Amino acid sequence: MSAFATLASVYNTPVAMHGDVDSTDSNTTTGSRALNQFLASVELKAFKIAQSALRHEHDALDAVQDAMLQLTRAYADRPAEEWRPLFYRILENRIRDMQRRRTVRARIMAWLPAHRDEEDEEAFDPITQAPSEELAPPRRLELDEAMTALEKALHDLPNRQRQAFLLRNLEGMDVAQVAAAMGCSEGSVKTHHFRAVKALRARLGEFST
Amino acid sequence: MTLNDEELDDFEKRTRALLEESVTRIDGRIRSRLNQARHAALAEVERARRTPWWRSFAFAPAAGLVAVVLLAVVLWAPRPGQMVPIADGASNAVEDLDLVADGETFDLIQQGDGGFYEWAVAQADAGPEATS
């Protein structure tokens, strides 16, 4: 009992006081813990990917949150190996929905010349986008500049190329996993990735970090 | 199996390093929001798992009511090819409305050409023998 109690406290699980452990609850907790670990492992990179596509912090957060909810609602019972491609597929669909909605909204707002989109104002607010007042060393400045250039170049890539590049180079997925996430063949993934690298290299040159 | 660094050329290695650096720079506010989103998603799964199976029938009465209404509509709706009887008063009511709306005609009736209508009513009451 004491050994079990120690383990339980490590994993923050309730301790069964009368020796009987409900196997269903135990499985559920284990499943939730695995799902929690998975989501924690992808959330930052997923946010970065969403932000790269949407260039808007709130929209990126919403996209990641929606993807998390949809994954847990619909696919929590699927094998853990399937979660990553499924999650990124859901995320990409959500990003595409937001981009479409934004396009429609821009078309409607084009008829109202006096209208100023407050969210866009927020997205490109020079005050919030400005670097902090803390003096950065030259190395940090170089990194900042390279990062900004890379993020801009990534945003300008076609959706599929950006997705293939980020899933391979940021998330570190192999071609088969990327193909599953993008819903296309491995050959298409290789083509999109090759074109993305070529476009980025042409845009950024052989920058050093 | 994930991507190995050996598979990447120098350019890709540098972009990867930059991207990973940018991930580490995500500020605490965003991390906190993501953390909250994750816990909200997990709480929803736990809630769904703990909901008893019979609770999924909570909307059964409403669904039954909708089914009854649909059935009634299907039963009472005219079938294709079926003639719908028109109530005698229905078309008359529309004509009466026209009559009332048309002020000129109404005035004409009020001005005393009632004799003709009285005769017409008497003829109708007397039956077909009276008209022949």
Asked whether the beta carbons of residue A206 and residue B46 sit closer than 8 angstroms, the reply is no
- Percentage of chain A lying above the pLDDT 90 cut: 53
B58 band by pLDDT with thresholds 50, 70 and 90: low
Classify residue B11: in a domain, yes or no: yes
Q: In terms of pLDDT, which residue wins out, A135 or A65?
A: A65
Q: What is residue A2's predicted lDDT score, i.e. its pLDDT?
A: 38
Classify residue B73: in a domain, yes or no: no
Asked whether the beta carbons of residue A206 and residue B2 sit closer than 8 angstroms, the reply is no
Burial B35-68 (b: 16+ CB within 10 A, else e): eebbeebbeebeeeeeeeeeeeeeeeeeeeeeee
Classify residue B47: in a domain, yes or no: yes
Q: Is B41 on the interface with A (CB under 8 A)?
A: yes
Classify residue B107: in a domain, yes or no: yes
Classify residue B59: in a domain, yes or no: no
Asked whether the beta carbons of residue A44 and residue B16 sit closer than 8 angstroms, the reply is no
Q: In whole angstroms, give the CA distance from residue A43 to residue A51.
A: 12
Contacts of B34 (CB under 8 A, 6+ apart): A43, A44, A47, A61, A64, A65
Classify residue B31: in a domain, yes or no: yes
Residue range(s) defining the domain that contains residue B34: 1-54
Q: In a 3-state reduction of DSSP, which class is residue B106?
A: helix
Q: What is residue A107's predicted lDDT score, i.e. its pLDDT?
A: 83
Q: What is residue B105's predicted lDDT score, i.e. its pLDDT?
A: 56
Classify residue B111: in a domain, yes or no: yes
- Asked if residue A63 lies in contact with residue A54, where contact means CB atoms within 8 angstroms, the answer is yes
pLDDT surpassing 60 at residue A126: no
Q: Say which range, A62-66, A155-159, A204-208, B84-88, has the weakest mean pLDDT.
A: B84-88
Q: In whole angstroms, give the CA distance from residue A150 to residue A53.
A: 12
* Domains present along chain A, CATH in parentheses: 136-209 (1.10.10.10)
DSSP, res B68: H
Q: In whole angstroms, give the CA distance from residue B106 to residue B98.
A: 10
From chain A, pick out residues whose CB is under 8 angstroms from the CB of B28. Answer: none
Q: Pick from B2, B15, B23: which is nearest to A45 by CB?
A: B23
Average pLDDT over residues B33-57: 80
B45 band by pLDDT with thresholds 50, 70 and 90: confident
Q: How far is A107 from chain B (nearest CA, A)?
A: 30
**pLDDT tens digit string along A138-174?**
777 888 888 889 999 999 999 999 999 999 999 999 9
Q: In whole angstroms, give the CA distance from residue A175 to residue A193.
A: 10
Average pLDDT over residues A34-40: 92
**Phi/psi of residue A173, each to 5°?**
-80, 150
Per-window interface: A 96-125 vs B, CB < 8 A: none
Q: How many domains does chain B have?
A: 2
Q: Is A32 on the interface with B (CB under 8 A)?
A: yes
Average pLDDT over residues A2-15: 35
Please name which of A188, A208, A200 lies closest in space to residue A52, comparing C-alpha atoms. Answer: A200
Q: Is A86 on the interface with B (CB under 8 A)?
A: no
Neighbours of A148 (CB within 10 A): 13
Which of B27, B38, B44 to probe the A interface (max A CBs under 10 A)?
Answer: B38
Q: In terms of pLDDT, which residue wins out, B54 or A24?
A: B54
Write the CA distances from A191 to A186, A204, A209, B2, B26, integer angstroms.
Answer: 9, 20, 26, 19, 30
Q: In whole angstroms, give the CA distance from residue A72 to residue B49.
A: 11
Which of A22, A42, A69, A154 to probe the B interface (max B CBs under 10 A)?
Answer: A69
Q: Specify the residue for token string 């083509």.
A: A191
Q: What is residue A161's predicted lDDT score, i.e. its pLDDT?
A: 95
DSSP string across A42-97:
HHHHHHHHHHHHH--HHHHHHHHHHHHHHHHHHHTTS-HHHHHHHHHHHHHHHHHH
**Mean of the per-residue pLDDT values for chain A?**
79
Q: What is residue A195's predicted lDDT score, i.e. its pLDDT?
A: 95
Residue A169, token pair as written in the block: 């180079």
Q: How far is A27 from chain B (nearest CA, A)?
A: 11
Classify residue B78: in a domain, yes or no: no
Q: In whole angstroms, give the CA distance from residue A15 to residue B108.
A: 95
Q: How far is B27 from chain A (nearest CA, A)?
A: 10
Q: In terms of pLDDT, which residue wins out, B91 or A158?
A: A158
3-state secondary structure A165-209: HHHHHCCCECHHHHHHHHCCCHHHHHHHHHHHHHHHHHHHCCCCC
Residue A135, token pair as written in the block: 């003096």
- Asked if residue A76 lies in contact with residue A99, where contact means CB atoms within 8 angstroms, the answer is no
Q: What is residue A28's predicted lDDT score, i.e. its pLDDT?
A: 57
Q: Say which range, A17-21, A67-71, A76-80, A160-164, has the weakest mean pLDDT.
A: A17-21
